[in-house]
Structure 1
Amino acid sequence: MTHSPATQQYREKQAGDLQPGDFVYLPGDGPAEEITSVDVQNDDYGVPALVLVTTHDGGSVRIAARSSVPVGDGVPAGAGSSLPDAGAADAGAADAGTSDSGVQDSSAPDSSSPAAPDAPAPAEPAVVVPPRPEAPPAYIGPSAEEMALIPEPAGTPESVVLAAASNHKGKNGVQVLADRLAKGINTKSGSCLRDLSDLAFNLCVVLKDPDGSLAVADLLNVLPFDGNLDRWASIERALALSSFICRESGQTERAAVYEKLLRAPESQEEDPFRARINARVRQRALNEPNLYDKEIFRAIDNGNQEAEREWRFLRLEALLFLRAHGGSETIDEDELGRRIGNELEAVRA
């Protein structure tokens, strides 16, 4: 077929479905011709094989029965004279636009008049950018002048331990720890740091020796945070205990130094997002501290005084840590002071 879709509007129809009255495009580039008759010829097996189409002008075309041919809309023969003249219709339409006096219809738009200015486009809604969340406060470590409030140890760490233990002869708990530490103190050893913090707690809580306890705790207090949480747990205990001892004795400036050292690792996270998440988790832990209530009540119900004392010791450590942090949103400093006093009496009883 040579019919161009740009010049001919047609649709395809199967040859076996052609009927008289359809308009078919014949081979070539002519208009659609009206079909006057359709003759179907079968093959030797009786199956329709060929369609013979005769058009109004006497032409004929053979089409395979299963092929598709272009068909379109046409005007039946003899009907062309009944259509109105296109030129007359155009002239009538032109005359309708003007009156007999030659005045142009005012309802028709005047192409010579200037076009109305375009209305301003509606402004797009402004994009609201939420403010950046506030970064958690940074806790900067104490200055050199503040660190000077912590006295230098009187001798080697081993001699400090032996001097503190020498005032409590016959106290097995203290002597066992002192003998083990006197063999050599390794600040990289987590077990050694734990023994130092245990010795400081025994001297202060059990034996009521805050001066000896503070001297031993200062061996830990000056150690920096190295990222190892196991070792830092022992240093953290010593710092919280030292802050309590200094505040009880009126050394508030020295206590503030210990509290700064305790909170300095909180500002080491450089990623703002992680710093905010860590601050939320830390605040939740301060607001909902584990004070071992269930364990203490269970030990009381079982009549196990030794287990009760050990659990109360852990509760005391948690309360001291909270006080060194300045309390929390659920427990203020006055309430912490009252609870710490109660636990000290229970542990020393």
Structure 2
Amino acid sequence: MTENPAARHYSKQQAGSLTTGDQLLLPDGERTAEILQVEFEPDDFGTPAVVLATLTGGGTIRIAAGSSVKILNTTVVDTTHDAEVPLPLAVVPSEEVEAAPEAPAVVVPPLPPIPPAVSGPSAEELARIPAPKGTPEAVVAAAAEAHPDDVGVLLLADKLAKGINFKSGSCLKDLSDLAHELFITLKDPDGALAVADLLNVLPFDGNPGRWASVEASLALSSYICRQDRQEERAEVYEKLLRTPETQETDAFKARMNSKLRQRSLNEPNLYDKEIFRSIDNSNHEAEREWRLLRLESLLFLRAHGGSETIGLGELQRRISNELEAVRA
């Protein structure tokens, strides 16, 4: 038997599973480089689209997330010629035999961990959300009757009185705005929950625009219930808020979505620059609008239990500060 020297060969691997230390075959097909860091760049819908592989020698390689790349492996290839008759070998004393160096083991990096499955609320848990008192239009009318002097509520109620279409993104936005107006401006948590629950029970239909209004409503409802010590009801809203996380069945996409989601929670947009600019320009109306957006972001974080960068205690303090600022 004859043994050839260790030969270079490559194994195909999905770009999304690249990890630090992999020896990546470069686009020229001749050179390899070790990966120093792997990041993911999402598309406009938040789905991982491009893998950014930073190389130890400098530079970054951009790879489509779903494509295959080649990773360098080292193997020893043995060939045996059956037709050859082996010649007798001279016996060499064992003490003169030097141990041949072992070929380095091929280390296969593990895939990123699969995020834990998130289950939606059960029928028993959904029963904790009270059924609306009458039609959706009647719920909106009741909110308007409770606050006949508030222009914001009356304007929204007038738009919704013509008929509530739950497939209309603008209609869902008006309902969400009404719930926020009732709680934030008028300090009416019961009225806010009654309106918000019209949205809270809507299923996730895959449309990010429509879901944004439902998401904001669920986050607001969770906060109101937490403040009112309705912990079990708040947990239902928080489970519903995570509904999109249960939709992805592809393991790779689920990993990437989980990573991007955690990054967005760790680095939320709190509109600091916009708020400071409004303060510098003495534009109180613009400042309030930006603070309302910041408040929505904080409520969303609170419904997720905080993040790796902002704990629940700090979130509670910031939410209280923003409520005080926009109610002033």
Question: Taking structure 1 as the reference length, what is the TM-score of the superposition?
Answer: 0.65
What is the match of residue 293 of structure 1?
272
Higher mean alpha-carbon deviation, 208-217 vs 158-167, is at 158-167
Matches within 5 A, 1:159-308: 159-308=138-287
What is the match of residue 291 of structure 2?
312
What secondary structure sits across from 1:281 in the alignment?
helix
How far apart in 2 are the matches of 1:337 and 1:197? Answer: 22
Runs of 4+ in 1 over 2 A off after TM superposition: 113-133
How far is the alpha carbon of 1:127 from its aligned partner? 3.5
How far is the alpha carbon of 1:190 from its aligned partner? 0.1
* Deviation sequence 1:241-291 (CA, Å, 0-9, x none): 000000000000100110011012113112222211111111111111111
Residue 133 (structure 2) aligned to one of 123, 148, 154: 154
Residue-pair matches, total: 237
How far apart in 2 are the matches of 1:187 and 1:114? Answer: 87
What is the match of residue 322 of structure 1?
301
How far apart in 1 are the matches of 2:224 and 2:245? Answer: 23
How far is the alpha carbon of 1:297 from its aligned partner? 0.8
How far is the alpha carbon of 1:125 from its aligned partner? 5.0
The structure showing larger relative contact order (alpha-carbon pairs under 8 Å, at least 6 residues apart) is 2
How far is the alpha carbon of 1:130 from its aligned partner? 2.8
How far apart in 2 are the matches of 1:316 and 1:157? Answer: 26
How far is the alpha carbon of 1:225 from its aligned partner? 0.6
* Deviation sequence 1:303-323 (CA, Å, 0-9, x none): 111111111111111100010
Q: In structure 2, do the counterparts of structure 1 residues 296 and 114 end up closer, same or farther at CA, with 3 Å as the change threshold?
A: closer
Q: In structure 2, do the counterparts of structure 1 residues 348 and 124 end up closer, same or farther at CA, with 3 Å as the change threshold?
A: same
How far apart in 2 are the matches of 1:213 and 1:304? Answer: 28
Q: In structure 2, do the counterparts of structure 1 residues 154 and 122 end up closer, same or farther at CA, with 3 Å as the change threshold?
A: same
Residue 122 (structure 2) aligned to one of 139, 143, 151: 143
How far is the alpha carbon of 1:122 from its aligned partner? 7.9
What secondary structure sits across from 1:318 in the alignment?
helix
How far apart in 1 are the matches of 2:289 and 2:250? Answer: 39
Q: In structure 2, do the counterparts of structure 1 residues 214 and 273 end up closer, same or farther at CA, with 3 Å as the change threshold?
A: same
The one-letter code of the counterpart of 1:198 is: D
Q: Which blocks of at least 5 consecutive residues in structure 1 are unaligned? A: 1-112
Question: Taking structure 2 as the reference length, what is the TM-score of the superposition?
Answer: 0.69
Q: Which blocks of at least 5 consecutive residues in structure 2 are unaligned? A: 1-87
User: Which one has a bigger Cα radius of gyration?
Assistant: 1
What is the match of residue 61 of structure 2?
none
Let me know the Cα RMSD of the aligned residues: 2.0
Q: Given the alignment of the two structures, is residue 332 of structure 1 paired with residue 318 of structure 2, yes or no?
A: no
